[in-house]
Structure 1
Amino acid sequence: MKHTMSRHTFYSLTVTFTILSILGQLSTSIYSPFFFDLAAIYDSYVGIIEKSVAVFLIAFSLSQLVSGVACDYLNKQKFLLYGVLVFIAGTLMVALATEENTFLVGRVIQGLGGGVGVSVSRGLSRQIFSEKQLNASLSFINIAFAIAPAIAPLVGTLIGESFGVSSIFYFVLVMGVFALLLLLSVSTTLKQYMPTTSENVFGDTLALIKSTMMKIVSVGMASGLLYGIVFSFITISPSMIMQQFGLTKTVFSIYSLLATLSFVMGSIINIRLASVSPLFKFKYSSLFIAVLSVLFGLLISPFAIKGLMGILTYCYITFFFIGIAMPCSVTIMLGYSDKSAGFLAALTGFFHLTGAAIGAYAVTLITLEPIISFCLSSCGLSVASILICTTLKRN
């Protein structure tokens, strides 16, 4: 039973959950303008630093999946506390790293800790908020999800150029400690509103797996591959924009901000199209992305369409339609069961972040110039996504 909650308590908990949820995104986007600087510091290749995005996302996605499923049966508050501590430990390792291997291991540990914050805070929200409060809280967190990776490169550029590259990771460390303090500050409140026992959803989850798992996997894979296009861009964009076109870190950060705003605009249009079924919007957005990616791939080589504005236009349009498709995929996934929503939410995060890791890693494996690598990876991901979409049918 949900108890009466004051506005102050609601916003205190929502802010805490929001900070816990965006730590992972912040820790990845904030150092993207300094890929080449880090490669020079570690006497390594920029490709190794680019792969740090992929290894983080793999750990982040696995952590979300495991913690999302496990939190139904464990103490969520302690689970969150341990997750933040692991994230802080990984961030400290990254900040103190003097070689690439230590840096990569630190990123993996960051991912393992950061994933807990996303899944478990969502599970707590479902337990302690009313339906109206839950909608408001998740909307606030979704806005933060969009804004955090957009402004993080700008913040990272300002900090890194003013105080040095390592100061970026110390800033993330401070954010982790801030999240820990917030969590401790609301610990008494959480104990007050948390139910004494968690509902056992094991039987319902088994029934869901037996009856609907193939549909869930299809939606998850199709949407995850679209998310992979976003992280292909995030991974290769420093090389594509700064190295290939010789632009500054500040200009690069602004272009990244515009890419995120395109994603946000797509999400807003999705809300406006509330009367259209999520499956329809998801399938046709995926189809448009696939057609646009193939067209871009056909034009870029024979006609040498390699100008920055042409590439960015393709990215912004693609991100706009991904902004429509992604919320629809979440709605479809969660719609398969109201009793196993925690399990479905964990799977949603897992598939999205696994797709993001695939996109981030794939673009580093194609050893061609950055534009061609991004073109091939985004084309492959979008075509694979629409092929899976063809198997989806209206329930």
Structure 2
Amino acid sequence: MKHNMSRYAFYSLTVTFTILSVLGQVSTSIYSPFFFDLATMYDSQVSIIEQSVAVFLVAFSLSQLTSGIVCDYVNKQKFLFYGIIVFIAGTLMVALADEESTFLIGRVVQGLGGGVGVSVSRGLSRQIFSEKQLNTSLSLINIAFAIAPAIAPLVGTIIGESLGISAIFYFVLVMGLLALFSLFSVSSILSYFTPPVSDNVYSNTLVLIKSTIVKLVSVGMASGLLYGIVFCFITIAPSMVMQQFGLSKTLFSIYSLLATLSFVAGSVLNIRLTSLSPFQKFRVSSFCLAALSVLFALTVFSGSQSGLVSILAYCYIAFFFIGLAMPCSVTIMLGYSETSAGFLAALTGFFHLTGAAIGAYVVTLLTLEPTEAFSLATCALSIASIAICFTLKKH
């Protein structure tokens, strides 16, 4: 059946899966330029608003792991509907929140719903697409996955300054409704192409866990900590860049976009470096990132002036190496099994988002100046990652 899928059906499904995959990223990045405004609105501290990123990521990572495991045993299409409804409910809570506690709870609910879309759509993609179609679909989704969080702050700035902060969250609500409509529109296609639930998933997954659990955890932790550096920047950047240097929200959004382009450039280089294995590229890029982070931290704590140029230069180079390392880590993880790829994809997402939550939360706990907190957190994360990385062996 896979090979009889029309181009219309293929692209309709890919668009739907893309929207489902980027909902979580957009809902997090779109309001980052307004951390200070939200703190004022709720008569709260900026650190509390910054922690909304971390609590979302914790919920998102747990949801992604759980839904990735569960979806192999249930109707994936219905599971997706439930996930979108939960995300919409959380978005309504955030949009209507009149105090910080309601805002944070809404972010948790958003994360629980958003994680379902990522894992389950990946599982469906593997089941209904041919190998060539799967490669094309995932490539398109990955492009959107990288670009969406970069464009979101700029979109949020335009909406927030024109219509008010609450309008930002109503925009996210519209995206959730669009995802629900898209899923309804392709429901007949999904019903036709989705195979019945396999009876051997449980036994295959148990064998995989027993034979490779240490390796899976090691690779997942090493790559997740690198992802944490990205969210260190996302969380502390408004304080570190906007407040310290007095940049406008628009200019801040543009600088954030350039950081994502650096990430994309690293991913493109990963494709080009065919002479090196994913394992080699992951190690080399992790080592370069650790050396760069230590150098940046020494510069900051030595009393040298940390100007905007030096901060952005570090961020862009760091994002480049992370963009090179992350696809390699996913390739390594998925390489451990073909039959349990859905479980491995969920496990990969869990470690990445757990690392992101650690990075986002730790940087808010450090009672230091924003630049010092950022440099110390990224240095610790990169050193921990490379320490784990060098215990790994090729499989």
Shared fold (TM-score, shorter chain, > 0.5): yes
In the alignment, is the contact (CA less than 8 A) between 2:153 and 2:253 conserved in 1? yes
In structure 2, the partner of 1:188 is: 188
Distance 2:107 2:122 in 1: 23
Measured on the aligned residues, the alpha-carbon RMSD in Å equals 0.8
In structure 1, the partner of 2:283 is: 283
Shift of 1:301: 2.0
Distance 2:51 2:353 in 1: 14
In structure 2, the partner of 1:103 is: 103
Shift of 1:303: 4.0
Distance 1:253 1:192 in 2: 42
Shift of 1:43: 0.3
Distance 1:28 1:250 in 2: 17
> Partner amino acid for 2:121?
S
In structure 2, the partner of 1:46 is: 46
Distance 1:100 1:155 in 2: 23
Q: How does 1:1-395 map to 2 (within 5 A)?
A: 2-395=2-395
In the alignment, is the contact (CA less than 8 A) between 1:286 and 1:386 conserved in 2? yes
Shift of 1:30: 0.1
User: 1:217-275 CA deviation, whole Å, 9 max, x = no partner?
Assistant: 00000000000000000000000111111111001001100000000000000000123
In the alignment, is the contact (CA less than 8 A) between 1:72 and 1:199 conserved in 2? no
Shift of 1:197: 3.0
Shift of 1:57: 0.2
Shift of 1:106: 0.1
Instruction: List gaps (5 residues or longer) in structure 2.
Output: none
Shift of 1:390: 1.0
> Partner amino acid for 1:377?
A
Query: How many positions carry a matched residue from both structures?
Result: 395
User: 1:174-206 CA deviation, whole Å, 9 max, x = no partner?
Assistant: 000010000001101110111133353111111
Distance 1:296 1:369 in 2: 15
> Partner amino acid for 2:236?
I
Shift of 1:3: 4.7
> Partner amino acid for 2:385?
S
User: 1:63-115 CA deviation, whole Å, 9 max, x = no partner?
Assistant: 00000000000000000000000000000000000000000000000000000
Q: Percent identity?
A: 75
> Partner amino acid for 1:117?
G
Distance 1:215 1:305 in 2: 42
Specify the SS of the correspondent of 2:268.
helix
Specify the SS of the correspondent of 1:20.
helix
Distance 2:304 2:170 in 1: 42
Distance 1:200 1:181 in 2: 33
In the alignment, is the contact (CA less than 8 A) between 1:231 and 1:359 conserved in 2? yes
Distance 1:203 1:195 in 2: 19
> Partner amino acid for 2:286?
S
User: 1:306-348 CA deviation, whole Å, 9 max, x = no partner?
Assistant: 1010000001000000000000000000000111111100100
Shift of 1:394: 1.4
In the alignment, is the contact (CA less than 8 A) between 1:54 and 1:360 conserved in 2? yes
Shift of 1:304: 1.8
Instruction: List gaps (5 residues or longer) in structure 1.
Output: none
Distance 1:3 1:89 in 2: 37
Distance 2:383 2:295 in 1: 12
Distance 1:197 1:369 in 2: 53
> Partner amino acid for 2:246?
G
**Structure 1 stretch displaced more, 158-167 or 191-200:** 191-200
Distance 1:284 1:217 in 2: 20
> Partner amino acid for 1:243?
Q
Shift of 1:299: 1.3
Specify the SS of the correspondent of 1:140.
helix
Shift of 1:300: 1.3
Specify the SS of the correspondent of 2:72.
coil
Distance 1:274 1:201 in 2: 33
In the alignment, is the contact (CA less than 8 A) between 1:3 and 1:193 conserved in 2? no
Distance 2:196 2:223 in 1: 36
In the alignment, is the contact (CA less than 8 A) between 1:236 and 1:370 conserved in 2? yes
Specify the SS of the correspondent of 1:11.
helix
